[in-house]
Amino acid sequence: MEELRKTKSSTLCRVFELLCTTDDGRRGRLTTRHGIIETPFFLPVATAGAMRGLSLGDLHDLQAQALLSNTYHLHLHPGEDVIAAAGGLHGFINWQKPILTDSGGYQIFSLRGLRKITDRSVEFRSHTDGKKHILGPQEATQIQHQLGSDIVMCFDECPPSTASRREIEKAVDRTLQWAKICKETHEKLSAPSLLFGIIQGGLHADLRKKCAEELIALDFDGYAIGGLAVGENEDEMLGVLREVTPLLPVEKPRYLMGVGVRHQLQACVALGIDMFDCVLPMRIARHGTILLSNGSEMRITNAEFKHAHEPIDEHSPSDLSRTHLKSYLHHLFRVHERYAEAIACKQNLGVTLKTMQNLRASIEMRK
């Protein structure tokens, strides 16, 4: 049966072409209205349409293939009407490659103290001005269409992986109920966007299976695995992937949300994941942890780097790290210069994107 599904993969799906599968992972191409994405790949997170410390030109230099932006934050400001009038998010931020928009479901997890959830929707109190906003599956889908997203994510409930089984059961039921509404709304809007369902279920294999099977029956363009990297350890996360990934259609892209640690990327690609996003590389960069192209990392604020008059990373994808000294970056961090953030963020994102390029090359060599 598995071999039969593999032979059909290139003909069943018009948007995702599976080129090969090896022990190192899957190699494919995802077609969107703003271009083709080579998989596996990593999405830089431009929450409000920009990345702190980096320009969109920097992202082009680093060969980023697509961006992730957030529905909830863009809805709060400037508002989807403003963005639609500017030609959609692509025109508003001047980025002509693919954009995936998170639905706002993650904010159910991250803004627990500012929201009230019902079976119909979520009432948020804005974290900026306290105003009330209602976001549900229909609203989230409509907003993403107004933003002009290439990949629209279903609105889901993302509980902590350490939540009680009863809480996670309720979240799965809501996620499935909302997925149906998202699909109906998406189809009525008739835009050329792709729609991905999100599999919840915490660390419970039976709940993950239930959620996956019911979403697959609804026939989405791709499937995301959510609710991980939110409290569990690495072994638990990988255990969930070993249970869920074999259930997913071979001919559809698979997206693991919120994971960006380099060795985890490699392990998850080997388990069949095609897409990732994470704020971690940028977050740790802003606090002085620098990822290096040889696989190691350094804490550039440590005193040992005060006299380290050598390139930050001579093999870096980032021109800034090839031309600036470790001692200079150490100095910039110690005197709180904003340029430190630009150098560090470009380095960490560049190394992360290069990791995905290397994984694609490794898979091609093994085929």
Catalytic residue of the set 58, 156, 274, 277? 277
For the residues 159-171, what does the mean pLDDT come to?
91
Looking at residue 4, its pLDDT comes to 32
User: Would you state the CATH architecture of domain 2-277?
Assistant: Alpha-Beta Barrel (3.20)
Output the 3-class SS for 290-345: EECCCCCEEECCCHHHCCCCCECCCCCCCHHHHHCEHHHHHHHHHCCCHHHHHHHH
> Helix or strand or coil: residue 130?
coil
Q: How confident is the model at residue 10 (pLDDT cuts 50, 70, 90)?
A: very low
CB-based contact 39:256 (threshold 8 Å)? no
Q: Is the Cβ–Cβ distance between 235 and 269 less than 8 Å?
A: no
Rounded to two decimals, the pTM is 0.93
Is the per-residue pLDDT at 136 higher than 80? yes
Confidence check: pLDDT of 12 > 50:
no
Residue 54, phi then psi, degrees to nearest 5: -130, 145
Out of 24, 58, 102, 274, pick the active-site residue: 102
What distance lies between CA 43 and its chain's CA centroid?
A: 5
Residue spans per domain, the chain: 2-277, 279-367
The first and second tokens of residue 57, run together, are: 């030109």
**Percent of the chain predicted with pLDDT > 70:** 93
Residue 268's contacts (CB-CB under 8 Å, 6 or more residues apart) are 238, 241, 256, 259, 276
Residue 246, amino acid? P
210: left (phi over 0), alpha (psi -120 to 50) or beta: alpha
* Mean per-residue pLDDT over the chain, rounded: 92
What is the distance between the alpha carbons of residues 126 and 124, in angstroms, rounded to a whole number?
6
Residue pLDDT, tens place only, 205-243: 999 999 999 999 999 999 999 999 888 999 999 999 999
Q: What is the pLDDT of residues 294-352, one digit of tens each?
A: 999 999 999 999 999 999 999 999 999 999 999 999 999 999 999 999 999 999 999 99
Q: How many CB atoms lie within 10 A of CB 311?
A: 15
**Mean of pLDDT values over 156-185:** 94
Q: Which two tokens stand for residue 309?
A: 């008059």
For residue 23, indicate whether it is catalytic: no
Spatial separation of the C-alpha atoms in residues 190 and 143, rounded to whole Å: 14
Q: Is 156 a catalytic site residue? A: no
